[in-house]
Amino acid sequence: MTSENNNANKIIQTKSVDKNCRPGLIAEKIGMTSEFNVSGVVTPVTVLKVIHSTVIDHKTVESNGYRAVVVGYGDAKVKNFTKPMAGCFKKLGVDPLAHVKEFRVGENYQSDSKVLDASHFDEGQFVDVSGVTIGKGFAGVMKRWNFRGLEASHGVSISHRSHGSTGQRQDPGKVFKGKKMAGHMGVRNVKKQNLKILRIDLENGLIIVKGSVPGFKGSKVVITDSKKKIKVS
């Protein structure tokens, strides 16, 4: 393949990214609580503590075929990395970091900031929060897929919470892939969209969003600008 075709493919890859797309923040889920307004209406909220992430690299269309910002956080020892990975940190001129994440950005994004903190977002803004859901182990179909189960009487015994028949007769005589059955539940990447930022505590690096976010207490989540809603004036 010629270099011209390679450059064309690189340009095509950048079309799917919004021009105003900017990097997100990495935060730790502190937990949930409630807030009351002057009328006594209760609002469930989640408290997120922003982890100060250091910008360690910029990806460009000319060099990499797309635009992105690489951030890292958490101290780590060199001995815990392979030589190629340790060499990457050395080439970038930064100390080894425990976690590294890449955010795609648009062509309009321009920033010289080396650290991303809670001031990255504004109060009243809508954000999307991504995280890994809590693991619930092996679960039956009623808990996992919300099946109604079998009858409580009329001849049904022992199998009240079973899923019932899963296949067909001789034709096609098999269980199709993707059939909802009992199995492992949880530990999935989930994105909660359109969560409103109610308050931001810059001194403590806290972001309070309305509603719940995926993950257990202490888990890491990624906060990005909402794809469907804009900031409230």
Predicted confidence (pLDDT) at residue 121 exceeds the cutoff of 50: yes
Question: For residue 207, what are the contacts with CB-CB under 8 A and spacing of at least 6?
Answer: 25, 27, 47, 48, 49, 50, 118, 121, 197, 199, 200, 201, 223
Instruction: State residue 5's pLDDT score.
Output: 52
pLDDT band at 11 (very low <50, low <70, confident <90, very high): very low
Predicted confidence (pLDDT) at residue 114 exceeds the cutoff of 90: no
Tokens of 135: 């693991």
3-135+188-225 CATH, one of 2.40.30.10, 3.40.190.10, 2.60.40.10, 3.20.20.70: 2.40.30.10
pLDDT in tens, 174-227: 999 999 999 999 999 999 999 999 999 999 999 999 999 999 999 999 999 998
> Looking at the DSSP assignment, which residues form a beta bridge with residue 33?
45
Instruction: State residue 27's pLDDT score.
Output: 93
pLDDT band at 232 (very low <50, low <70, confident <90, very high): low
Spatial separation of the C-alpha atoms in residues 203 and 192, rounded to whole Å:
26
Residue at token pair 């940190």: 89
Q: What is the mean pLDDT of residues 110-134?
A: 90
Question: For residue 176, what are the contacts with CB-CB under 8 A and spacing of at least 6?
Answer: none
Spatial separation of the C-alpha atoms in residues 116 and 53, rounded to whole Å:
5
Stated length of the chain: 233
Tokens of 25: 């923040």
Which residue spans of the chain are classified as CATH 2.40.30.10? 3-135+188-225
Percent of the residues in the chain that have a pLDDT greater than 70, as a whole number? 91
Instruction: State residue 115's pLDDT score.
Output: 86
* Torsions phi, psi for 171 (to 5 deg): -115, 115
Least trusted range by pLDDT, from 130-139, 140-149, 166-175, 194-203: 166-175
Phi/psi-derived region of residue 9, left when phi > 0, alpha when psi is between -120 and 50, beta in every other case: alpha
Instruction: State residue 86's pLDDT score.
Output: 87
Predicted confidence (pLDDT) at residue 14 exceeds the cutoff of 50: no
Using a 10 angstrom Cβ sphere, with 0-12 exposed, 13-18 middle and 19 or more buried, the burial of residue 5 is exposed
Instruction: State residue 13's pLDDT score.
Output: 46
Distance, C-alpha 156 to centroid of its chain: 43
pLDDT in tens, 59-106: 989 989 999 999 988 888 888 888 888 888 888 888 888 888 999 998
**pTM listed for this prediction:** 0.82
